[in-house]
């Protein structure tokens, strides 16, 4: 499984609305596998198709917890509640981090790699990661939501907690 090239800002595809996936086949499964390998290689917790140059509604999230890898195809946000503010970064913005406020809870509906519907509820950091990736599918970048940018020494304090 090859590691794919990450598209960096200001590439136009990062600010475009992605098209729904209609075909669920081996090609899609391979793309999901390649996206996972790419995310892991670049030490990310999520990756959306536009970040690898594809304008398709496909994203993955894996925060390295018991939830495992979440593959979201054509995801829709059904509900959000609460609020959290915390640090975010993005593979398409290397070495840039900022504080972002997002809902603390999200409920989504999506399809898996075989085209089967599922719903998922998440809170805290997992909700943040899911919402960040779904934003990518709508051409929304985390930099548009940053309250303030973080310095390297602030990030070290967050990582050690």
Helix (H, G, I), strand (E, B) or coil at 24: coil
Closest by CA to 73, choosing from 118, 105, 131, is 118
Tell how far CA 123 is from the center of its chain: 15
Q: Which residues are catalytically annotated?
A: 133
The answer to whether the beta carbons of residues 131 and 108 sit under 8 Å apart is no
How far apart, in Å, do the first and last CA atoms of the chain sit? 34
Radius of gyration of the chain (CA): 15
- For 149, the token pair is 């940018």
Count other Cβ atoms within 10 Å, centred on residue 109: 15
How far is Cα 134 from Cα 72, in angstroms, rounded to an integer? 9
- For 154, the token pair is 């602030």
């Amino acid at each position: 499984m090859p590691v794919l090239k990450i598209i960096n800002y200001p590439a136009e595809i990062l600010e475009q609305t992605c098209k729904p996936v209609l075909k669920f086949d081996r090609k899609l499964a391979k793309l999901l596998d390649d996206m996972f390998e790419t995310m892991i290689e670049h030490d990310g917790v999520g990756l959306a198709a536009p970040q690898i140059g594809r304008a398709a509604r496909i994203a993955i999230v894996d925060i390295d917890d018991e939830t495992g890898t979440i593959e979201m195809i054509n995801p829709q946000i059904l509900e959000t509640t609460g609020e959290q503010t915390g640090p975010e970064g993005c593979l398409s913005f290397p070495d840039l981090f900022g504080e972002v406020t997002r809902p603390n809870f999200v409920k989504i509906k999506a399809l898996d790699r075989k085209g089967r519907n599922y719903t998922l509820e998440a809170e805290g950091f997992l909700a943040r990661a899911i919402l960040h990736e779904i934003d990518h599918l709508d051409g929304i970048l985390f930099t548009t939501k940053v309250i303030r940018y973080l310095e390297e020494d602030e990030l070290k304090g967050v990582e050690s907690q």
